[in-house]
Copies of this chain bind each other. A is one copy, B any other.
Amino acid sequence: MKVEIWSDVVCPWCYIGKRRFEAALQRFPQADQIELDWKSFELDPGARSAAAGEAGDYLERVAAKFGRSRAETKQLLDSMTATAAAEGLEFHFEKALPANTFNAHQVIHLGLERGRQHEVTERLMKAYFTEGAAVSDPEVLVRLGAEAGLDADEVRASLADQRYAAAVRDDESEAAALGISGVPFFVIDRKYGVSGAQPADQLLGALRQAWVESHPLTFVGAGNGTDDAVCGPDGCAV
């Protein structure tokens, strides 16, 4: 069974949704038969990046972007931080640096080719949300990619020639074709869609439903089992 997850490195619900999905997988007996693919989605393709020191105040930035007061914005961020903490994540919005994620998504694509996609995705999200790393900076991405098991020179070369740019765009075109306008978005076997960081129970339910549909039980034995030596809420067949 294949699960594709559209997400962005700088999307808080995506990191939270990642933990919830992992919790669902822990409880899913056929987890080892699931092929995962992290697909690119840039929340803000026109985002400008900034290094530490040039970024200014995160709270101010978010408040301005969404036209809310500082107090209201702080409350929203605190609430998101608490939700993340409940999933075992440490968010430090105050350290977060504005980042265009086009390069980061390319490194995730390199990760897919090298069998390290899950590790790369996790590393980049942690770098952004917990460590305040500049996840748009090529040299930072080289370091983070290497920490996630990639070859540093290959990360550098792939960013230099932008060899995964088309792959990122392809993911985004696919998202548009599927009607995906927000992330995280989980697609199971190209059949079921789950939008948002839904609770692990919900995600597990979706996995089960898709699994049963693609792996229906084959009835063996005398009958089809509907009325043969069986007891039900209305009694027992004899």
Query: Once the chains bind, are A228 and B76 in contact (CB under 8 Å)?
Result: no
Query: Which residues on the B side are within 8 Å of A228 (C-beta)?
Result: 195-196, 198
CA–CA, A71 and B157, complex, Å = 45
B residues less than 8 Å from A14 (CB atoms): 231
Please state if B229 and A30 are interface contacts (CB–CB under 8 Å). no
In this complex, how many residues of chain A approach chain B with their Cβ under 8 Å: the count is 71
Known: A173-B208, A194-B220, A195-B219. A236 touches B30 (CB 8 A): no
A110-118, A120-128, A139-147, A199-207 - the one binding chain B: A199-207
Contact of A48 with B by CB under 8 A: no
Which A204-236 residues have a C-beta within 8 angstroms of B? 204-206, 208-209, 211-212, 215, 217-226, 228-236
Q: Which of A53-61, A96-104, A179-187 contacts B (4 or more CB under 8 A)?
A: A179-187
Whether B236 and A12, one on each chain, are in contact in the complex, defined by CB atoms closer than 8 angstroms, is yes
A206, B184: Cβ atoms under 8 Å? no
CB pair B230–A80 under 8 Å, yes or no, is: no
A178 in contact (CB, < 8 A)? yes
> Which are the 4 A-B pairs with shortest beta-carbon distances?
A195-B225, A193-B217, A182-B232, A196-B229
- The chain A residues found within 8 Å of chain B, CB to CB, are 8, 11-14, 16-17, 27, 29-30, 43-44, 65-66, 76, 79-80, 166, 170, 173-174, 177-179, 181-185, 187, 190-199, 202-206, 208-209, 211-212, 215, 217-226, 228-238
